[in-house]
Amino acid sequence: MRIEKTSNLGSFVWSIAEILRGDFKQSDYGKVILPFIVMRRLDCILEATKPYVLEAAKSLPEGIDDETRDMILFGAAGDKIRVYNTSRFTFTSLKGQDPGQVHDNLIDFITGFSPNVRDIFLDKFRFTEALKRLKDGGILWQVFERFCAIDLHPNHVSNIEMGYLFEDLIRRFSEISNETAGEHFTPREVIRLIVELLLANDHAALTGTGIIRTVYDPACGTGGMLALTEEAMTALNPKVRVELFGQELNGESFGICKSDMLVTGHNPEQIAFGNTLTEDAHLGKTFHYMLSNPPYGVDWKKYQDPIRAEHETKGFDGRFGPGLPRISDGQLLFLLHMISKMRDDEQGSRIGIVMNGSPLFTGGAGSGESEIRRWMLEKDWVEAIVAMPTDLFYNTGISTYVWLLNNRKPSARRGKVQLIDASSERFWKSMRKSLGSKRREIPEAARHEIVRIYAEMLNGDGPYGEFSKIVDREDFGYREIRIERPLRLNFQATPKRLARLAEEKAVQKLEIGERQELLDALAHNLPTQSFTNRDAFEKVLTRALKGVGGKIGAPLKKAILSALSERDESADICLDANGKPESDTQLRDHELVPLNDDWRDFVAREVTPFVPDAWVDENYRDDRDGETGRVAYEINFNRYFYKYVPPRPLAQIDCELKQLEAEIAGLLKEVAA
């Protein structure tokens, strides 16, 4: 990869933005520059075969159908691409035309593209609007001339280099418009790591002839992940046939990705436009490899209705059967979508997805996140999770994790999950110049080391013990049991408690006269002593209310008992109608019992010795297995990789404080002098 050339090319293209200053907002620069680059790239590719296409177009018989017409013209344009242009113009010939006609000539050039490309410029880029603004501002010719000076032929700029160019430009446009660059692309060293992890143990399966593999990215952006996956697979076996599939919501990114598929010989119809979560464009399809970097922490409120409807009506027959994450973060929805596209055959499927830390531990027992983790782990699909260095991405410095899933785990990995901590300085280096929030990168040697740790399942016993742990999947699970404590109350008709009773809703609903009669009866008829037994107090209360008019219903009696009581550890236990201790909701607690531990033994060991009157609510059960306690799963990296750093000795801290005091005293003397 010629980084210097791509950087210089990006700087040159970026310099064109200076022409746009004043006529376009900074946030609109990409609407001009990106489609112009795509158009110039296609022009460079098609220029050599343009005479053959024009000749073929003249020779087409009348009444020919669109499909046959496209097939003939695709063939005239070249065997490896699925795009043609029947306009008589090229960028070279346009440059020799009247500058005043450049707008109309460019429109002719755009409409001359095959329908699959023409739609990209007209519908996704909305390029005709940008051209009109350039024309009205009197700068269209200047911009066009600058793009004519760029040679974007594949012989000069490879597809990979074009990917870097788009990456650089999108990052810059996103920075100046405060958009989220991470929604458009992923740093290439991160993609290479994910791809190498996915392929690490599949080299043998990819060798030979007649091998066909499908790759899918549900949030494909400009197609960087798809392109690098194909590059890695063909490097292992040049004869392998790789079919690329994707879907993208952003129109500009979709246009770039589809254009790349067109010029690299892939079927552009396999790249779909739209919202993956609500409009699955590849419904019913399954894939060998899937990888993605979905948006982090983006809510799905505005399109929740179809997602909730699918979850509720289809259950596990749909994509979101296990549960739904909180509305503020849709990362796990993308993962569930990918899981639904796993192949159910001998080869199975492998998934690599980048997410932040939230899917690891967010949500307690019974939550959507926990149920999703539970489902994946109980299905034994989670193969490994790699903690990445911070400051890797252009738009955020947060911690990120690569999840690797496999529905055909090798025997050595069954029932196990490998945790790899690649966040330490061993696996990254600082960049000479930051790019947005990206201050670090993963060197090639470190990338290979991470892949080796994963591929060889290096565990904590060896030299990589501080970076890799092989964990039983059950270790991430626990049962949340409900611990109840008995309700103990004392009762007394003090002025303070009677005033509290007057504010109760049940009392406020009474007529003024009835309300006053009730309060007077309680104030005068109840003894002033404190009762520590509820049954005894209820008997006294019944006698005190005997002369009060109106019926004392259950809601009103409940309000009286509540207002005239206070918690008292020395009081007798309140019993329910069946003579069993009534629980105190304020003292209610929950204990997390590891799945490999019996909750009865746990309570006997960890609860009863300290709170003898506590008991477990055995009606608090799991919805799926019906057992006492609710099952939950969370993955806590710190539990396995935390390194205790002892505090400094007190003598050292005291010495440092004295030195600081002396320095402060010296500074004060200088000020006073």
**pLDDT tens, residue by residue, 640-666:** 888 777 888 898 998 989 999 999 988
Assigned token pair, 277: 């979560």
Distance from C-alpha of 192 to C-alpha of 175, rounded to nearest angstrom: 24
pLDDT digit string (tens) for 216-238?
Answer: 999 998 888 999 999 999 999 99
Residue 644 lies in a domain: no
Residue 336 lies in a domain: yes
Assigned token pair, 242: 């790789």
Average pLDDT over residues 61-79: 88
Note whether 434 and 493 are same-domain residues.
no
Residue 10 has pLDDT above 80, yes or no: no
Distance from C-alpha of 503 to C-alpha of 259, rounded to nearest angstrom: 70
pLDDT digit string (tens) for 112-121?
Answer: 999 989 999 9
pLDDT digit string (tens) for 470-489?
Answer: 999 999 999 999 999 999 99
Round the average pLDDT of the chain to a whole number and report it. 90
Secondary element (H or E) of residue 593: strand 589-594
Residue 201 has pLDDT above 80, yes or no: yes
Q: Are strands 382-387 and 400-406 parallel, antiparallel or unpaired?
A: antiparallel
Residue 26 lies in a domain: yes
What pLDDT score does 1 carry?
A: 37
What pLDDT score does 553 carry?
A: 87
What pLDDT score does 175 carry?
A: 64
Using pLDDT thresholds of 50, 70 and 90, give the confidence band for residue 176.
low
pLDDT digit string (tens) for 511-527?
Answer: 898 889 999 999 999 99
Residue 584 lies in a domain: no
Distance from C-alpha of 620 to C-alpha of 617, rounded to nearest angstrom: 6
Residue 172 lies in a domain: no
Note whether 403 and 335 are same-domain residues.
yes
Q: Which has the higher per-residue pLDDT, 410 or 547? A: 410
What pLDDT score does 154 carry?
A: 87
Note whether 343 and 437 are same-domain residues.
yes
Q: Which residues of 320-346 are buried (b: 16+ CB within 10 A; e: fewer)?
A: bbbbbbeeebbbbbbbbbbbbbbbeee
Neighbours of 247 (CB within 10 A): 24
CATH code (residue 289) = 3.40.50.150
Distance from C-alpha of 498 to C-alpha of 523, rounded to nearest angstrom: 8
Note whether 301 and 396 are same-domain residues.
yes
Residue 621 lies in a domain: no
Which range marks the domain in which residue 290 is found? 181-479
Quote the Cα angle for 506-509-512, to 5°.
120
Note whether 462 and 521 are same-domain residues.
no
Residue 550 has pLDDT above 70, yes or no: no
Radius of gyration in angstroms for the set of CA atoms belonging to the chain, rounded to a whole number: 35
Assigned token pair, 564: 């005239």
Where do the H-state alpha helices sit in 456-568?
Answer: 495-502, 505-508, 512-525, 534-544, 554-563
Neighbours of 10 (CB within 10 A): 18
> Which amino acid is located at 527 in the chain?
P
Q: Are strands 271-273 and 241-248 parallel, antiparallel or unpaired?
A: parallel
What pLDDT score does 292 carry?
A: 95
Note whether 362 and 463 are same-domain residues.
yes
pLDDT digit string (tens) for 271-312?
Answer: 999 999 999 999 999 999 999 999 887 889 999 999 999 999
Percent of the chain with pLDDT over 70: 96
Distance from C-alpha of 166 to C-alpha of 14, rounded to nearest angstrom: 11
Average pLDDT over residues 202-209: 89
Domain termination residue (choose one: 459, 479, 499)? 479
Note whether 70 and 121 are same-domain residues.
yes
Note whether 505 and 366 are same-domain residues.
no
What pLDDT score does 450 carry?
A: 95
Residue 262 has pLDDT above 90, yes or no: no
SS3 472: strand
Number of domains the chain contains: 3
Residue 655 lies in a domain: no
Note whether 17 and 81 are same-domain residues.
yes
Average pLDDT over residues 50-69: 91
Residue 542 lies in a domain: yes
Instruction: Give residues with Cβ within 8 angstroms of 520, minimum separation 6.
Output: none
Note whether 332 and 210 are same-domain residues.
yes
Note whether 191 and 269 are same-domain residues.
yes
Average pLDDT over residues 128-153: 93
What pLDDT score does 671 carry?
A: 84
Domain termination residue (choose one: 423, 453, 479)? 479
Note whether 369 and 505 are same-domain residues.
no
Task: Return the HEC string of 27-84.
Answer: HHHHHHHHHHHHHHHHHHHHCCCHHHHHHHHHCCCCCCCHHHHHHHHHHHHCCCCCCC
Distance from C-alpha of 440 to C-alpha of 389, rounded to nearest angstrom: 8
Domain termination residue (choose one: 546, 567, 588)? 567
Using pLDDT thresholds of 50, 70 and 90, give the confidence band for residue 179.
low
